[in-house]
Structure 1
Amino acid sequence: MVNLVLSALNAVTDLTKANFIKKTRRTAEVQERFLLRLLQAHRDTEFGRKYQLGEIKTVDRFRDRVPILPYSSYEPFLERIANGKQNILTADPVVYLTLTSGSTGKKKMIPTTRRSQNITRQATLTSMGFLTAALRSRGQQFGKILLTNSTQQWGRTSAGIPYGPASAGVLSMDKWLYGQFFAQPYETLQVADSSARHYLALLFALQDPLMRGMLANFPMLILRTCNYLEKFGEDLIHDIETGTIANWLEVEPELRLALEQRLSANPVRANELREILQSEGKLTPHLAWSNLSFVACARGGTSDFYFQRFPTYFNNTPIFGAVFSSAEGMFSIYHELDDDSSILALESGFFEFIPQDQWQEEQPKTLLATEVRSGERYRILTTSYNGFYRYDIGDVIEVVGFYEQAPLIVFRHRQGGLISSTTEKTTEAHATQVMQAVQQEFSLLLEDFCMTLSENDFPARYLLNIELANGYKLEDPQAFLSECDRKLQAANTHYEISRKDPIPPPRLRILAPGSFAILRQRQIEKGIPDSQLKFPHISEDRNFLSGLQVQQEVRLPEDEA
């Protein structure tokens, strides 16, 4: 029965993908039609009446009539929506309020309606259609997926509207659909404790040697699941053998009971895993699931830094980006394995692009999807059924080509996600490019890194804070620092110019093991969901790394006098 359901869903995703491809051949028409239908649907909302959306009949008129507004302009509307007022930003009732992670600033509240959720589902199914086709071309197949995202909502507003992270809303509203793809029972994702949730998801997934994929929001979270598999290997095997759940896990009693009823002893599978553990000394996804076909997580931006560690756990298993999205909207759909580019999600929103020469303007001139140029970077605006219009989320993307008439885009970094000692504007993309290269050059793996600025120098010097991965040693830290400095100058011309004068030489700080785990825990304690952690690799916050143990500080020869 399960295989029949999965086969039927695969057929649906194939059809959804085929329909999407047809529409990429009519990009301008599809985008205009989406916008005009949305404006008509929302014309009688409070926002629609204010900006006379019902009178807008062309894209140009829309851009003239509706201004680009910051989130603060939407806050008064959102407060009233949270209190139960309807027909404010959307014509459809708001059924869920997504709270952004707040990892890059203040938490934001994003309305979700059934219609906006349906659009998200459609894009997800399209992505799965592309994934299935890509796997077939390699002689592989799509199948059950391990997911560890929490589905716990955080509460309800005074009007009874549930609120919480995006993944909790998406998964709970389409519980049956997404549940068909899980390698573990849905109840595992309802467990509040993060360690217990990961353990239970792994426990059930390990029962199935034919599991095909792993899914997480970000590659760092995939690596964390791998660490849990290594850490709890013996315990997991014992529970599989006996059909029990470790009594030391923090699991809500009702969920423990429900999951125990779903679990049965599997000594044959336990013996298979024990033999792997004894012969290899550890459990990894590639060893535990020999049929693993893909890993799905965010691509672009700083992801490549973490991907360097993937072969340790996944060998050459391909990586799929799935969708490029945020709480504010769905932006693009991935179409290939091991590829950072993705196709603009033509029916998920109406998109505009702000070219770089307009980034400082309060009301910049924008380009449409068919007007952008390959090789150029833009800030992306979205208008969608969640009630935001011409909304600038601050993401910088690069157009790298076209799929039929639709732009292929790659996420590069967030606007404002940079550091400057003077005016050089070093971005996360610069920092990640450098750290990827030096890791390879020095045959080194880092647990993580973060570039910050010194407190007591003027102009401030760059501080490169790194934590070595377990088992690695940096033999020549001064040469490492020198190469980082050289490569950063090559990556960022403005840094190269300012580095000659007035920026002083950078310093390397080697942090004690476990330092970045402490930083991530600090983020969680601030209320950021563990499934939405986006760890910054550059920070202008001079106190960001405060309290961490520096094992060694390294200077360049010119800085030692």
Structure 2
Amino acid sequence: MNARWAYIKLQNAIVSRMLRQTANSRDIQRDVLLEKVRLCADSRFGRDYHLRSIRNVDDFRRNIPITDFETFRPYVDDVRRGDPGALFSPSVRLLMFALTSGTTEQPKHIPVTDEFIRTYKRGWKIWGLKAHTDHMDLAKKEYVHLAGDWQQSQAESGVWCGSISGLAAETRPAIVRRTFIVPPEVGKISDWTARQYTALRLSLPSRKVGMIMTANPLTLVGLAELADREKESLIRDMRDGTLRLPEGCSSTTSNTLQRRIKRVSSRRIQELENIIEQTGRLLPKDFWPQLSVIGVWMGGSVSAFIPEVRRLYGECAFRDHGLSASEGRMTIPIEDESNAGLLDYESNFYEFIPESEFESDSPTVLEAHELIEGQSYYILLTNSGGLFRYNIHDVVQCVGFRGQTPMLTFLHKGAHCSSMTGEKLTEYQVATAVREGFGQLNLRVETVMLVPVMGSTPRYRLLIESHLNDDVENIAKSIDRSLAAVNCEYDDRIKTNRLRPIETKIIPNGSWQKMRERKIAERGGTQEQYKHTFLGTSDQFLTEL
């Protein structure tokens, strides 16, 4: 029996157990809560918030208010300076800080402890095992995973700061690690284009790639476009057994990657050249003919780019990456072609506020089993990294239950909502309208932004790069119609002349890339973590650029 398949069958007991225990997730969630409290009870934070006195959910809510990262920043800053006791009990081991952009100009440093990484990897294991049992051919194929670097910088204490995906990739079990043909060291290449080129150089020799995983569909679009744009260089490097690494790449990373570079068989090179001769392009749908599964975010604003990924990668199953962030994994999708996921009830403790009550001074706060199907909620997260009742600003919808456990789909970030006349446009609605608007014109989805413009009669302005100049008016009208279809309040405001139709504003080519680079430089995070918002607050950023 294939050794990998034997390992998968052995590990599948974890999946079966989780699915079986969904019937008892309420009690499990309460046990998880007390475990998270224990991890920090003997810290300065624990003393400040009387964690030792917490025995149940009521105590928890009485002692700790709803929080954001600024609540924890003073404690985290002390941990960064070498005082883990500011946030954690003595038995807790700190492994790294996950870097992510914050709502202020300062990036967030999310503590990653040994318990945090254990639960994080467990959630990914369940995701992967379920995908394998649904696609048994994967046991004989190879995988491409585009992870980040967990050693980007060091805190004052010497603890590494970076991407948690990199740490998870570096600590995979050996039997699993062999199936991933892009090694974690690729994530240490700081230049984004060079990193993607290296990933292609290492993975193109294989025609047995069965699964590719990354969070952001824009990463996959960029990877495919780079493969086509650099096809001659890639084939030349494969024929010569070479790899051009950028200046500044560390000697350790360079040596590790160079050892993995070999000449590629003439048969494979001929196959790739035949693809170019026949199609004029070099795209994943042709050079990875055995691709079975793509694991990527399918919900929220980035859902607009899924049709383009399908066009570039061909007919294969899409499995949502799951609602996850540097602060932790929250859902585990268990079916193809759905952005709904099972709440990861064994890893973190969750509370939910109805979206309609979020601005209330005393909102209703619910446990997971109390959600109502069809309703939308903000998530409050309590994890193993010292964050309690943490408002992650994600809005999700409950689309059903498995036992006592909700199935959730990500809608949008809570901050991305606009309502000049009561239309209450959300990021999710705008992303849907953009996807459908471009689709109705048989155009590929482009990066655009809708921004509110106040006036005697307000309207929304569509910011669009100049290479689409010939189509902009039709695109604006198509998105306008789609918005009216997904938001009845917007439709009503347009029909009653309380809102004027969308107008367009042409912006220079490259504006979105400049904005992306600026935000990453200001707030931290990586290219992979960056999510373009289709709904902006104003076009002031153009002046700043």
Check whether TM > 0.5: yes
Letter paired with 1:194: W
Query: Does residue 407 of the first structure (1) align with residue 402 of the second (2)?
Result: no
**Is this contact kept in 2: 1:235–1:246, CA < 8 A?**
no
Corresponding residue to 2:502 among 506, 529, 532: 506
Distance 1:324 1:104, change over 3 A: farther
Match of 1:107 in 2: 107
Query: Does residue 212 of the first structure (1) align with residue 207 of the second (2)?
Result: no
Distance 1:468 1:411, change over 3 A: farther
**Is this contact kept in 2: 1:341–1:409, CA < 8 A?**
yes
Deviation at 1:121, TM superposition (A): 0.8
Match of 1:98 in 2: 98
Letter paired with 1:517: Q
Deviation at 1:40, TM superposition (A): 3.3
**Is this contact kept in 2: 1:103–1:528, CA < 8 A?**
no
Moved more, 266-275 or 246-255: 246-255
Moved more, 125-134 or 413-422: 413-422
Match of 2:416 in 1: 417
Distance in 1 between residues matched to 2:124 and 2:312, nearest whole Å = 26
Match of 1:38 in 2: 36
Distance 1:523 1:75, change over 3 A: closer
Distance in 2 between residues matched to 1:204 and 1:480, nearest whole Å = 39
Deviation at 1:286, TM superposition (A): 1.7
Distance in 1 between residues matched to 2:371 and 2:272, nearest whole Å = 51
Distance in 2 between residues matched to 1:361 and 1:142, nearest whole Å = 53
| Superimposed CA distance per residue, residues 477-536 of structure 1 (whole angstroms, 9 cap, x where no aligned partner) | 545433432332332233334433443332023555544334333334434411211111
**Is this contact kept in 2: 1:340–1:410, CA < 8 A?**
yes
Distance in 1 between residues matched to 2:186 and 2:413, nearest whole Å = 33
1:234-249 pair list within 5 angstroms: 234-246=232-244
Distance 1:177 1:196, change over 3 A: farther
Match of 1:273 in 2: 272
Distance 1:254 1:88, change over 3 A: closer
Match of 1:551 in 2: none
Match of 1:532 in 2: 529
Deviation at 1:326, TM superposition (A): 0.8
**Is this contact kept in 2: 1:17–1:129, CA < 8 A?**
yes
Match of 1:124 in 2: 124
**Is this contact kept in 2: 1:101–1:107, CA < 8 A?**
yes
Distance 1:451 1:180, change over 3 A: same
Deviation at 1:540, TM superposition (A): 0.7
Letter paired with 2:541: F
Distance in 2 between residues matched to 1:534 and 1:428, nearest whole Å = 12
- Tell me how large the CA RMSD over aligned residues is: 2.7
2:79 is paired with a residue whose SS is helix
Deviation at 1:441, TM superposition (A): 1.7
Deviation at 1:451, TM superposition (A): 0.5
1:80-229 pair list within 5 angstroms: 80-91=78-89, 92-102=92-102, 106-136=106-136, 141=139, 143-151=141-149, 153-172=151-170, 174=172, 179-229=177-227
1:505 is paired with a residue whose SS is strand
Distance 1:60 1:12, change over 3 A: farther
Deviation at 1:251, TM superposition (A): 4.4
**Is this contact kept in 2: 1:447–1:468, CA < 8 A?**
no
Distance 1:172 1:276, change over 3 A: same
**Is this contact kept in 2: 1:431–1:537, CA < 8 A?**
yes
Distance in 2 between residues matched to 1:75 and 1:518, nearest whole Å = 29
Distance in 2 between residues matched to 1:175 and 1:308, nearest whole Å = 34
Match of 2:487 in 1: 492
Letter paired with 2:74: P
Distance in 1 between residues matched to 2:54 and 2:520, nearest whole Å = 44
**Is this contact kept in 1: 2:194–2:245, CA < 8 A?**
no
| Superimposed CA distance per residue, residues 438-491 of structure 1 (whole angstroms, 9 cap, x where no aligned partner) | 222221223221111347x4554311123488xx8856x545433432332332
Q: Would you say how many aligned residue pairs link Structure 1 and Structure 2?
A: 540
Distance 1:76 1:430, change over 3 A: same
Ranges in structure 2 where 5+ consecutive residues have no aligned partner: none
Aligned-residue identity in percent = 25
Match of 1:335 in 2: 334
1:25 is paired with a residue whose SS is helix
Moved more, 142-151 or 374-383: 142-151
**Is this contact kept in 2: 1:215–1:296, CA < 8 A?**
yes
Ranges in structure 1 where 5+ consecutive residues have no aligned partner: 549-561
Distance 1:226 1:102, change over 3 A: farther
TM-score by length of structure 1 reads 0.89
Query: Does residue 377 of the first structure (1) align with residue 376 of the second (2)?
Result: yes
